């Protein structure tokens, strides 16, 4: 089995577990489609004998990055993103989003 395909399946598992535990819902189809496009492009690069190691390393690097991002994501990270969104939309920040809480 192709190493990039296995990395993509692990990535889908991480995305699904993250959404089920943190957001209590299944992942959006766009999340899975985006991962398929990214890993598909990496898989195309990995088919070349010259860039095989680069493609496989990049695929597994993305999996590790997603895992670390999921493990370290807390409400403070979402609060920062929500505060930025409130600022850009001109909305008044609520106490729940002020200061990253």
**Global pTM value:** 0.69
Question: What average pLDDT does the structure give for the chain?
Answer: 81
Confidence band (pLDDT; 50, 70, 90) for 67? confident
Please write the tens of the pLDDT for every residue from 20-50: 888 889 999 999 999 999 999 999 999 999 9
Give the distance between the most distant pair of CA atoms in the chain.
Answer: 54
Closest CA to 2 of 66, 56, 62, 61: 56
For residue 3, give the nearest of 64, 52, 37 by alpha carbon: 52
């Amino acid at each position: 089995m192709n190493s990039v395909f296995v990395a993509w399946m692990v990535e889908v598992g991480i995305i699904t577990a993250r959404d089920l535990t943190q957001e209590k819902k299944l992942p959006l189809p766009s999340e899975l489609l985006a991962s398929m496009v990214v890993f598909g492009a990496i898989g195309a690069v990995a088919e070349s004998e010259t860039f095989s190691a680069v493609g496989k390393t990049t695929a597994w690097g993305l999996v590790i990055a997603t895992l670390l991002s999921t493990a370290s994501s807390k409400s403070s990270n979402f609060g920062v993103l929500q505060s930025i969104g409130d600022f850009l939309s001109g909305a008044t920040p609520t106490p729940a989003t002020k200061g990253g809480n």
